[in-house]
A and B are shown apart, each in its own frame.
Chain A
């Protein structure tokens, strides 16, 4: 019912265009630093730990960057960043909508004859679906760059081996799979968080409860969806 209301009794396209742009800036630019920072360190740690676990001399060094690439593209960039995204963007969405609810701002929209679900939530979901895949791409690049820096600066792997490993046995479907996951996760985080925030009842304490529930539920949904998508798209 909540999602069905997104598309009924909508306002003009121009109204949504502005709102979606504002949300894109808030979600995309607002998350850029955190996503870049986390993914760079994830890449660096993955490189060091992969090297630590490679005990056989028969395994060439470039395998390290192959492993880093697969881990980052398949799991770390889309899924772990989604967990962070739920914490940052999801909590902000739930908190914002919850505050609007308890301060009667949502009622004010309804009295004006505006479909508040469509006006407030549709731009958030649209912007999330548009921006999160871009954040995942940036996270992938930063992760591999972080791995490169950690590997080469500490002498674990040479630059040539690292780049060779990134390019060898490359399967482009992994990137498509990551982007499919990112769209699903973006939708889940934005819709669940908006739902929790929109239906907040009570006062400031309940806004906090809704925000926590939004993050918890979003993370659980992301993890379940992650498994289901892997089973559906990767299982042989």
Chain B
């Protein structure tokens, strides 16, 4: 479980996040949604420590992340896996080397065990026989899957996904969403997904936090998102034509 409290972040005079608080539970994907430029990605980067917030706190299963010493911080980070928007695969390494990377650097696992683990994770994300390909030789959807395989290879306790569907076709998006949901449930890990894709929201959004102008405006599920009574959320949800037509009916 991850708990955040009063996370605030400004860039110069611009307040991007204002006292955002929330709890992200284990076992199901926790979605952070909102329009572009509302601070979702900044919030995610604050949670994982890539951006230092001006103030606020983040607790990983009770462990204070920001105020802990370097060793504890590193320990917590080594329990994280993250899927970046563009995949962030290492260009100079093959798919297999990319997925094996956390095991090579962070563990003393024997070579054969690493190979088994890499193949297991690649199979888990539906990729086989791509081990020797370079990231430039695979499609955007495959890159995301390799990114997920790399994120889960070291058995993380926390999985973070930044816009996992951006740039993907609807079918591949659904596959990626289902994969994230399955992994969260099977591994019983805390997963946070940042997205503005309504298909994802309706598909896997059992826990949703809506961010508007840097503030946590609404928390709920995909079942009650269409009748939240929050104007900003309605504007966001029904901007989608399909959703709007459903609302009219």
User: Quick check: is B26 within 8 A (CB to CB) of the other chain?
Assistant: no
**In the docked arrangement, what's the CA distance between A147 and B78, Å?**
57
Q: Is A155 an interface residue (CB 8 A)?
A: no
Q: Are B74 and A110 in contact (CB under 8 A)?
A: no
Q: Please state if B77 and A113 are interface contacts (CB–CB under 8 Å).
A: yes
Bound: A103/B70 CA distance, A: 26
Which residues does chain B contribute within 8 Å of A15, judged by CB atoms? 104-105
* A112 and B84 form a contact (CB under 8 A): no
With contacts A114-B106, A119-B105 known, what are 4 further pairs, Cβ within 8 A?
Answer: A105-B89, A107-B45, A113-B76, A113-B77
Within 8 A of B (CB), among A8-33: 8-9, 11, 15
CB < 8 Å neighbour of A8 from B49, B70, B84: B70
Within 8 A of B (CB), among A99-138: 99-100, 103-105, 107-108, 110-114, 119
Which residue of chain B lies nearest to A105 when distances are taken between CB atoms in the complex? Answer: B88
Q: Choose among A11, A15, A104 the residue with the greatest number of B CB atoms under 10 Å from its CB.
A: A104
Judging by beta carbons under 8 Å apart, are B105 and A111 in contact? no
**Interface hub of A15, A103, A110 (most chain B Cβ within 10 A):** A103
> B78–A112 contact, CB under 8 A?
yes
A contacts, CB < 8 Å to B: 8-9, 11, 15, 99-100, 103-105, 107-108, 110-114, 119
Q: How far is the CA of A20 from the CA of B200 in the complex (A)?
A: 44
Check B90–A105 contact: CB distance below 8 A.
yes
Cβ proximity bits B78-103 to A, threshold 8 Å, 1 near / 0 not: 10111011101111000000000110
Nearest residue, chain A, Cβ from B70: A9
Cβ-closest chain A residue relative to B75: A113
**Does B48 lie at the interface of the complex (its beta carbon under 8 Å from any beta carbon of A)?**
yes
A104 near B86 (CB under 8 angstroms)? yes
Residues of B within 8 A of A119 (CB): 105
With A112-B80, A112-B102 in contact, do A107 and B70 touch (Cβ < 8 Å)? no
Instruction: Decide: A113 and B91 in contact? CB cutoff 8 A.
Output: no
Nearest-neighbour CB distance to chain B for A113, whole angstroms, equals: 3
Contacts A9-B70, A113-B106 hold; do A104 and B77 have CB atoms under 8 A apart? no
- Name the residue on A nearest B154 (C-beta): A112
Q: Mark B34-56, 1 if CB is under 8 A from A, else 0.
A: 00000000000100111000000
Residue numbers in A under 8 Å from B70 (CB-CB): 8-9
The minimal Cβ–Cβ distance linking B4 to chain A, given in whole angstroms, is 17
Q: Do residues A114 and B88 form an inter-chain contact, with CB atoms below 8 A?
A: no
Q: Please list the residues of chain B having a beta carbon within 8 angstroms of any beta carbon in chain A.
A: 45, 48-50, 70, 74-78, 80-82, 84-86, 88-91, 101-102, 104-106, 154, 160
| A112 pairs with B106, CB closer than 8 A | yes
Q: Are the C-beta atoms of B88 and A107 separated by less than 8 Å?
A: yes
Q: Which residues of A contact B88 (CB under 8 A)?
A: 103-105, 107-108
CB of B90 within 8 A of CB of A113, answer no
Q: Which residues of B contact A100 (CB under 8 A)?
A: 90
- Closest 4 A-B residue pairs measured CB to CB? A113-B77, A113-B78, A104-B88, A108-B88
Partner of A112, one of B85, B89, B105: B105
Tell me, in angstroms, the Cα distance from A100 to B84 when the chains sit together: 13
Cβ contact within 8 Å between A114 and B50: no
Assess whether A113 is in contact with B80, with CB atoms less than 8 Å apart: yes
Q: Is the CB of B105 within 8 A of A114?
A: yes
Q: With A11-B105, A15-B105, A113-B106 in contact, do A108 and B74 touch (Cβ < 8 Å)?
A: no
Contact check, B77 vs A112: say whether CB atoms are below 8 A apart.
yes
CB <8 Å contact, A108 and B82: yes
Q: What B residues does A8 contact at CB under 8 A?
A: 70
Contacts of A104 in B (CB 8 A): 84-86, 88
Residues of B within 8 Å of A11, CB to CB, are 105
Query: In whole angstroms, what is the CA distance A100 to B102 when docked?
Result: 17
Q: Is the CB of B74 within 8 A of A111?
A: no
Residues of B within 8 A of A103 (CB): 86, 88, 91
CB of B94, distance to nearest CB on chain A (Å): 15
Alpha-carbon distance A119/B85, docked complex (angstroms)? 23
Chain B residues near A114: list those with CB within 8 A. Answer: 105-106
Query: B91 touching A99 by the CB < 8 A rule?
Result: yes
Residues of A within 8 A of B90 (CB): 100, 105, 108
Q: How far is the CA of A104 from the CA of B45 in the complex (A)?
A: 12
Decide: A113 near B74, CB < 8 A? Known: A11-B105, A105-B90: yes
B50/A111 in contact, CB under 8 A? yes
In the assembled complex, 6 residue pairs joining A and B whose CB atoms fall closer than 8 Å, in A order, are: A15-B104, A103-B91, A110-B49, A111-B81, A112-B106, A113-B75
